[in-house]
Amino acid sequence: MMACPLEERIQGDLVAALKNRDDATLSVLRMLKASIQMAATEKGRSSGLADEDVVALVRRAVKQRKEAADLYRKGGAHERAAEELEEAGILKSYLPTQMADAELELVISGVIGETGAAGPKDLGRVMSGVMKLAAGRADGKRVKEMAARLLS
């Protein structure tokens, strides 16, 4: 089994960053590549991960960078917070494009209709269905807020 297209893109971008002496991008992509290799080893795969697994790793890394930036900002280290946000921006380029609000609202409305959800107590069922359909193209927090609004 060969590496997934996303993993190949990351490797290509890593080589380009090395050639261009783009230290910030190079550092982020090396960290990401190491995370991918570690996850593949943990899953017992020698040939890489599926795109969904790589996207999950990238999403987790973006979240970690944003949380670290908040902590640095609260601690007064604004320069370091900016660096964390820059790294998050580099990583975001490997995530699928997010659904527009109108498209997401249609998906949520469809799931509400399919599940027969009637109120806030059904939020969990709606969230589960929407997250499966969104397939990484909608942030959970955003889905929850919109679904809660439509269920109230």
pLDDT in tens, 18-68: 999 999 999 999 999 999 999 988 888 766 778 888 888 998 999 999 999
Of 74, 92, 110, the residue at which a domain comes to its end is 92
Contact 82, 121 (CB under 8 A): no
- HSE at residue 6, side-chain half, CA atoms within 13 A, is 20
65 shares its domain with 40: yes
Residue 65 is part of a domain; what is its CATH number?
A: 1.10.1510.10
76 shares its domain with 119: no
Residue 145: give the domain boundaries: 101-151
20 shares its domain with 87: yes
What's the pLDDT at 1? 41
More confident residue, 70 or 138: 70
Whether the per-residue pLDDT at 11 is higher than 70: the answer is yes
Q: What would the pLDDT profile of 87-115 be if each residue is shown by its tens digit? A: 999 999 999 888 888 999 999 889 988 88
Domain count, the chain: 2
Whether the per-residue pLDDT at 135 is higher than 80: the answer is no
